[in-house]
Chain A
Amino acid sequence: MRDAARFDELIHPATRLSIVALLAAADWAEFAFIRDQLGLSDSALSKQLTTLEDAGYVTIERPLSERRRRVRARLTPVGRKRFTGHVAALRGIIANAVPEA
């Protein structure tokens, strides 16, 4: 069943939308992977992830492996639902656009 279209202002800014879209296609992603794929600085990504985590859209995990600290981000069920709804809302905006004469 598709989630209802719902525009989400928190997700919509381009950088945040790219982060959430990346996480939506993954079970989880390393901080470094997101940073490198989207060409962000550590601080910029950290700030966006904190915003998403505070909203309950993302969880941050810090598993200890291979003697180095890793940081993983994962979309929560709420975040996934909001993202799906947001994408549906964007599609709705395009579908309802009046063609130029």
Chain B
Amino acid sequence: MTNYPTDAEARVALQGVEQARLRVIDQIGMPWWYWWGLAASWVGLGVASDVANPWVTLAATLTFGAVHSFVSTRLLAGRQRTSNVKVRAEVAGRRAPALVFGFLVGLGAVTVAVALLAYADGAGHPATMASVLVAVAILLGGPRLMAAIRAGAIRRAAAG
């Protein structure tokens, strides 16, 4: 015969379920090296476009694009911050990859805009200047974006 729990026991059991879910949600994010690698590459490309041969800059940009697209297919959804667990897509949220992609496109636009402004102002190395600024934004904004995605996952979990 089945021993059904009392409503108090059922509440405790559901709290345990919720806590376990939150432990997994806490794993949503990108590895630290992704943001640092992205910021370093951004500065590298900025420096290259200021001082290197245009062909070198083009080759570096294409290489960066290829490497980033390879890495980001695994990481962009924020489901595998570590190799210990892979968060389910519906838990991380279907919008997470689009949000990160939008963040990167926005940073690209900011880089170009700041570089053009710096160039118009007569700066010696406008692309380097713009890329350093955006690299800082990547290091500060990337983890904050992932925190926002985690907060969204917690809200969805609370809503059931």
Residues on B with beta carbons closer than 8 Å to the beta carbon of A24:
20-21, 88
Known: A26-B85, A27-B86, A30-B85. A12 touches B19 (CB 8 A): no
A residues touching B (Cβ–Cβ < 8 Å)? 7, 9, 12, 14, 17-19, 21-22, 24-30, 32-33, 37-38, 87, 90-91, 93-94, 96-97
B residues touching A (Cβ–Cβ < 8 Å)? 2-7, 10-11, 13-14, 16-21, 23-25, 79, 83-88, 91
**Complex Cα gap A25–B87 (Å):** 6
Kindly list 17 other residue pairs between chains A and B, CB separation below 8 angstroms, not including A22-B24, A32-B84, A93-B4.
A12-B13, A17-B13, A18-B17, A18-B19, A21-B17, A21-B18, A22-B20, A25-B88, A25-B91, A26-B87, A29-B85, A38-B20, A90-B10, A90-B14, A91-B14, A93-B10, A97-B7
Residues on A with beta carbons closer than 8 Å to the beta carbon of B91:
25-26
Centre residue among A7, A21, A22, A97 by max chain B CB count within 10 A: A21
**Complex Cα gap A27–B79 (Å):** 9
Residues on A with beta carbons closer than 8 Å to the beta carbon of B19:
18
Asked whether A25 lies within 8 Å of B13 as measured between CB atoms, the reply is no
**Complex Cα gap A26–B25 (Å):** 9
Residue of A nearest to B17 (CB): A21
Residues on B with beta carbons closer than 8 Å to the beta carbon of A17:
13, 16-17, 20
Asked whether A33 lies within 8 Å of B85 as measured between CB atoms, the reply is yes
Known: A17-B17, A91-B14. A22 touches B2 (CB 8 A): no
Residues on B with beta carbons closer than 8 Å to the beta carbon of A18:
16-17, 19-20
Known: A22-B23, A25-B87, A26-B85. A87 touches B7 (CB 8 A): no
Residues on A with beta carbons closer than 8 Å to the beta carbon of B5:
12, 90, 93
Residue of B nearest to A93 (CB): B10
Residue of B nearest to A29 (CB): B85
